Amino acid sequence: MKIPSSTLTGKSLISIHDLSIEEINQVFDLTAALKSATEPTRLLEGKILGMIFEKPSTRTRVSFEAGIYQLGGTGIFLNANDLQLGRGETIADTARVLSRYVDIIMARTFEHSKVTDLAQYGTIPVINGLTDLLHPCQGMADMMTILEHKGRLKNIQMTYIGDGNNVAHSLMFGAAKVGMHLNVTTPPGCEPDEKIVKMAKADAEATGSRINITTDPVKSVKDVDVIYTDVWTSMGQEKDNDAKIKMLQPYQVNTALVKNAKDDCIVMHCLPAHRGEEITDNVVDGPHSVVLDEAENRMHVQKAIMALLLGN
Ligand code: CP
Ligand code: NVA
């Protein structure tokens, strides 16, 4: 197998909004090829991935690290607090220095600007491994998972229900690009970022995707193909936890809510789940749930992304 030539080569992946539909499809095609490969595919022999984490992670860390090893490269885990970054060295200097040692960087940060600054000041591709604003690798893995289970993305009806957070934002950008219809259903006060909504709606005009911001949980999941939820309190927002639990209780994904969707609907969650809050045990472990496929696809999609950004 060879890395297909792509306009992604040499670029960073900060947001799904920056990708063309051709680039999105290139990621899905290479993901499928890597996932079904029967021989080892060492497309990135000798390449080094630096992984900066300001927040905890299970899936992102392990899927990137396992993924780069599988491709013949090496991953270096960098806890932001153990870097000089934690003592005030600038992002710009960190980016310039790391660019002399490694071939590609993945970063998980609080402020979104830290990831964009890494990409701006470094000379190597940067992958957004989650910021307070966006989680593009999750969105790409989720769309791959829908594609596998439903055979298409165009005109799939999905409802994201819960907190209008980074995961919701990336799903909005993704849905708009691929022509999927998406309700984002939240209580007042938990809506997605207005700027992101505007940008996604603008993209949606080109593809016929409908992005609706709604408040009624039962109505919004009526006859949908996909129900998606995520934690009510994202990393770094713990002080809002009690208020969020009160506001979001009626938005829990439980058996009664899922009954309103199509019989063959799939239920998605990026994990980690706060079982008993945004989703009940019997739904997350139930027959509609595809949460482990999503987690697995993180690795396959990220292998494709790393390969396309680095090229041959
Ligand atoms: N879904 C996800 O990004 O999980 P981690 O926080 O475990 O990386
Ligand atoms: N919205 C969650 C996603 C975790 C993968 C968070 O930011 O904590």
pLDDT digits (tens, 9 = 90+) for 133-177: 999 999 999 999 999 999 999 999 999 999 999 999 999 999 999
Q: Which residue is catalytic, options 59, 108, 112, 169? A: 108
Tell me if residue 302 is catalytic: no
Tell me if residue 112 is catalytic: no
Q: Which residue is catalytic, options 17, 112, 269, 298? A: 298
Token pair recorded at residue 118: 């890494």
214 vs 62: CA distance, rounded Å:
35
Q: Contact at 8 Å (CB) between 105 and 118?
A: yes
Per cent of the chain over pLDDT 70 is: 100
- What is the distance in A from the centroid of ligand 2 to the CA of 56? 10
Interhelix angle 291-310/59-70, rounded to 10 degrees, is: 50
- What is the distance in A from the centroid of ligand 1 to the CA of 196? 22
Phi, psi of 252 (to 5 degrees): -65, 140
Token pair recorded at residue 138: 């999750």
pLDDT band at 10 (very low <50, low <70, confident <90, very high): very high
- What is the distance in A from the centroid of ligand 1 to the CA of 272? 6
Q: For position 124, what pLDDT does the model report? A: 98
Q: What are 212's strand-pairing partners?
A: 183
> Sign of torsion, CA 40 41 43 49?
negative
Evaluate: CB of 57 within 6 angstroms of ligand 1. Answer: yes
Largest CA distance in the chain: 54
Residues carrying CATH 3.40.50.1370, the chain: 16-134+297-310, 137-294
pTM above 0.85, yes or no: yes
Q: Contact at 8 Å (CB) between 280 and 252?
A: yes
Write the CATH number of the domain with boundaries 137-294. Answer: 3.40.50.1370
Model confidence over 70-121: pLDDT tens digits? 999 999 999 999 999 989 999 999 999 999 999 999 999 999 999 999 999 9
Q: Contact at 8 Å (CB) between 228 and 269?
A: yes
242 vs 239: CA distance, rounded Å:
8
Q: Which residue is listed with tokens 């992005």?
A: 211
Q: For position 265, what pLDDT does the model report? A: 98
The ligand 2 atom nearest the CA atom of 270: 5
Question: 3-state SS of the chain: helix, strand, coil percent to 5?
Answer: 45, 15, 40
Strands (E), 42-193: 48-53, 74-79, 104-108, 126-128, 157-161, 181-185
Span 182-206, average pLDDT: 98
Write the CATH number of the domain with boundaries 16-134+297-310. Answer: 3.40.50.1370
Token pair recorded at residue 269: 């969650």
Tell me if residue 265 is catalytic: no
Nearest ligand, measured from the Cα of 234: 2
Q: What are 182's strand-pairing partners?
A: 158, 211
Q: For position 240, what pLDDT does the model report? A: 95
